[in-house]
Amino acid sequence: MTDPLTVHVPLDQGRDYDILIGRGLIAGAGARVAALGGKAAVIVSDETVASLYGDALRASLEDAGLRSGLVAVAPGEASKSYATYAAVCDGLLAHKVERGDLVVALGGGVVGDLAGFAAATLRRGVRFVQVPTSLLAQVDSSVGGKTGINSPLGKNLIGAFHQPRLVLADTATLDTLSEREMRAGYAEVAKYGLIADAGFFDWCEAHWRGIFSGGPERDEAVAICCRAKAGVVVRDEREDGERALLNLGHTFGHALERLTGYESARLVHGEGVAIGLALAFRFSARLGLCPGQDAGRVANHLALAGLPTTLQAVPGGCGDADALLDAMAQDKKVKDGALTFILARGIGQSFIAPGIETNAVRAFLQDELGAA
């Protein structure tokens, strides 16, 4: 393999870390993890990912002189539960993870969030390494230190900010993703262009096929996304301000996930985000904030990449405008009953728009639903 791309995340208080991006990083992970210190590195993964990469990662850790172990959970969002969290913590304790040791999260966003939260709270905090194996996790969830699980009362309501000590994004692992998972992750890639980097969105329009096929464009895109996210996280680690921009497309997207019962057969997170991005731009255009042409360009590009961009595209439907509003109001980004959206003045020009009137949102959604 060639040298990986590196994105440094310069957090304070000795918490800075590197994100390495490249094909084949898992095979050489051991030396890099061992360089962090500690005697043991215990992997948390799901059964599917563990069967693909668990042995290779364990062998690499053991070769580097680390005692290793594996705690595997069932694949899927249902594992972000209190019960699985308890099982992972107890599994790590059974593997005798002590305060100086490491937890290694090997998998997609579910595994990263779950393992990160277990690491954040095991013995009041042990260090952890992210080895994201989905495009979504490589460009989004593995970077930035948000960890957590779901409550029956809502997604990601329980958790901790806990930064990894190292992120190894082995882009060869994406070769085994389904087309649907690739597309879903790609929605988050395009999002970075839409938030604040019009040039990157141009580049995506020209090069997106290389990301899917595993050309050098893939590593480059992952690195650009990680660099963008790292910048935001360093400036606003706890989402008191700017970090909320990363939620572009997510207020609508989360509502759609909720209304489809988080059934991945109907809608996965990235598909909700794709629809949400298209809606955020069309809503911005309707409010006179953004050229209609930009909204059209966003929807066209996402559709070209195979992603849904309308409420009609939700299999089984998503209810009426009031159901959507209710689902949005349950989102944790609601403050004092007022809806906060991330809107845009154009591609690459997003901003936080608090206090958006529900009547305006309702009228917009009714038109979107009627436009079938």
Which of the residues 247, 271, 301, 368 is marked catalytic? 247
118 and 148 Cβ atoms separated by less than 8 Å:
no
Q: Work out the widest C-alpha separation in the chain, in whole angstroms.
A: 62
> C-beta of 367: minimal distance to its own copies in Å?
31
Rounded to an integer, what distance in angstroms lies between the CA atom of residue 50 and that of residue 133? 11
- Output the smallest distance, CB 325 to its own copies, in A: 18
- Which of 80, 243, 266, 282 is an active site residue? 243
Instruction: For residue 244, count CB atoms less than 10 angstroms from its CB and return exposed for 0-12, middle for 13-18, buried for 19 or more.
Output: buried
- What is the Cα–Cα distance from 350 to 130, expressed in whole angstroms? 29
Any catalytic annotation for residue 191? no
Quote the least distance from Cβ 158 to its own copies, whole Å. Answer: 5
DSSP SS3 for 5 = strand
**153 makes contact with its own copies (CB under 8 A):** yes
Please say if 247 is a catalytic residue.
yes
Question: Is 121 an interacting residue with respect to its own copies (CB under 8 A)?
Answer: yes
Q: Is 127 in the site for its own copies (CB under 8 A)?
A: no
218 is catalytic: no
Q: How far apart are CA 332 and CA 339, in angstroms?
A: 10
What gap in Å lies between CA 114 and CA 159, rounded to an integer?
9
Angle (nearest 5°) at CA 114 between 110 and 115 = 115
Point out the catalytic residue in the list 80, 181, 188, 368: 188
Active site residue 269: yes
Indicate if 181 belongs to the active site. Answer: no
Measured from the CB atom, the residue of 156 and 349 that comes closer to its own copies is 156
Q: Segment 239-298, which members bind its own copies (CB under 8 A)? A: none
Does residue 326 belong to the site contacting its own copies (CB under 8 A)?
Answer: no
Our answer to whether residue 205 is catalytic in this structure is no
Helix (H, G, I), strand (E, B) or coil at 351: strand
Residue 67 in contact with its own copies, rule: CB under 8 A: no
Could you tell me the smallest distance in angstroms from the CB atom of residue 190 to its own copies? Answer: 26
Q: Give helix 179-196 / helix 269-286 axis angle, nearest 10°.
A: 30
CA neighbours closer than 13 Å in the CB half-sphere of residue 372? 9
Q: How far is CA 78 from CA 74, 138, 188, 263, in A?
A: 8, 21, 22, 10
**188 tagged catalytic:** yes
Which of the ranges 77-85, 249-257, 302-310, 343-351 carries the binding residues for its own copies, by CB under 8 A?
Answer: 77-85
Q: Which 3 state secondary structure label does DSSP give 36?
A: coil
The site that binds its own copies (CB under 8 A) totals a number of residues, namely 33
Considering only residues 80 to 119 of the shown chain, the ones binding its own copies according to CB under 8 A are 82-83, 85-86, 89-90, 93-94, 98-99, 117
Is residue 148 a contact point for its own copies (CB under 8 A)? Answer: yes
Q: Is 372 in the site for its own copies (CB under 8 A)?
A: no
What does DSSP assign to residue 26?
G
From the CB of 160, what's the least distance to its own copies, in Å? Answer: 6
What residues form the annotated binding site?
A: 109-113, 133-134, 146, 155, 173-176, 188, 250, 269
**Stretches 19-27, 55-63, 150-158, 314-322: which one binds its own copies (CB under 8 A)?**
150-158
CA-to-CA separations, 114 to 56, 82, 109, 194, 295, in angstroms, rounded: 22, 10, 8, 29, 35
268 within 8 A of 184, measured Cβ to Cβ: yes
Q: Indicate the helix (H) or strand (E) that contains 154.
A: strand 154-161
15 near its own copies, judged by CB under 8 A: no
Asked if 96 is an active-site residue, the reply is no
Rounded to the nearest 10°, the torsion over CA 253, 258, 259, 260 is 90
Contact flag: residue 152 with its own copies (CB under 8 A) = yes
Q: How far is the CB of 322 from its own copies (least distance, A)?
A: 20
Q: How far is the CB of 101 from its own copies (least distance, A)?
A: 11
Give the binding site for its own copies (CB under 8 A): 39, 82-83, 85-86, 89-90, 93-94, 98-99, 117, 120-125, 146, 148, 151-154, 157-161, 238, 332, 335-336
Residues marked as catalytic: 124, 146, 188, 229, 239, 243, 247, 250, 254, 269
